[in-house]
Amino acid sequence: MTRGAVDRMATAADRPVPRVVGVGRPPWWVLLLAALVTVGVTVNLLGRGWLERMDLRVSEVTSVWALRDSWAYWPIWVVTQLGGRVTILVVLAGLVTWLAVRERTLVPLVRVVVALALLTTVVYAFKWGTGRTAPAFPGSFFHQDGASYPSGHVANAVLMWGVARWQAVEYRLPAGVQRAAWLLSVLGPVATGVAMVALDFHWVTDAVVGLSVGLLLLGVVHALDAAVLSRWVGARAGRSEA
C-alpha cells in the first residue's frame, strides 16, 4: 500500500461523522399545539364530553377483538415495551456509558436524569390529579385508584427516545445509529400507543395526551439544557483552557 493511500485512509478515519438527522428539538409551534391538545382533551374528558364517548366506542371494538386472550397478545405486548421504562433505560445506560468513556463527559447522563425526573413528576401528577381508570376498570371512569391518563408508556417513548436521538446526533455517532435513534423517536411512540389501545390497556385519548405531554417535556429538557447545562459546561471548558 502506498504512503498516499495510507494518508487518505487516515484522513477518512479522522473525518468527523456528519449529522444525518436533526437533534429533534420540537419547534415552538409543535409545543404550542401539544399544550393546546393537552388542555383541550383534559377539559373535554373531565366534562364528560364527546371524547369520552369516542374512547368508549373504540374500546368496545378492541374488546371484541379480545387480543389479550389470543396468540397475538405477546407479540403486541413486546411492541408496548418500546415505551417501557426498563427497555429504554437499558439502551440509554449503554449510550451514556459509551459517551462518558469516549467523550469524557457526563452531560448525556445529566440530560437523561433531568428527563426522567420531569417525566416521573409530571406524568404521575397528571395520573393522580385526574384519577382516570383504564378501560378494564369496572363501573367508573374516574376513581381514586385510576392511573390511566395520560399513557406513561407513550410519554416515556416520546421523551426518552427523543433524548437518545439527541445524544446520538449531537455526539456524531455512526450514521446508522443516528438513523436508528431517529426511527425509534418517531415510530416508537406511535407503535406503543397503537399497541396499548389494541390490547385495551389504554383509551385513545390516554395515548394522544401521552404523546403531547412527552413532546412538551422534551421541549422543556432542551430549554433547560440551553439555558443552564450547556452554558455551565461551556463556562467550565473556558476556565479549564485558561
Sign (positive or negative) of CA dihedral 219, 125, 87, 213: negative
Angle in degrees, CA 227, 24, 157, rounded to 5 = 105
State the pTM of this model: 0.88
User: Sign of torsion, CA 132 34 156 204?
Assistant: positive
Split into its structural domains, the chain has a count of 1
157 occurs within a structural domain: yes
Angle between helices 50-65 and 175-198 (to 10 degrees): 90
pLDDT per residue of the chain (242 residues) written in tens, 0 to 9: 555 444 444 444 455 788 889 999 999 999 999 999 999 999 999 999 999 999 999 999 999 999 999 999 999 999 999 999 999 999 999 999 999 999 998 999 999 999 999 999 999 999 999 999 999 876 667 777 788 999 999 999 999 999 999 999 999 999 999 999 999 999 999 999 999 999 999 999 999 999 999 999 999 999 999 988 766 665 444 444 44
- Domain assignment of residue 133, yes or no: yes
The answer to whether residue 155 is domain-embedded is: yes
Q: Determine, yes or no, domain membership for 34.
A: yes
Domain residue limits at 188: 23-234
- Does residue 116 sit within a domain? yes
- The full 3-state SS of 198-240, as one line of letters, equals HCCCCCHHHHHHHHHHHHHHHHHHHHHHHHHHHHHHHHHHHHH
Sole residue written with cell 473556558: 238
Domain membership flag for residue 11: no
Is there a domain that residue 5 lies in? Answer: no
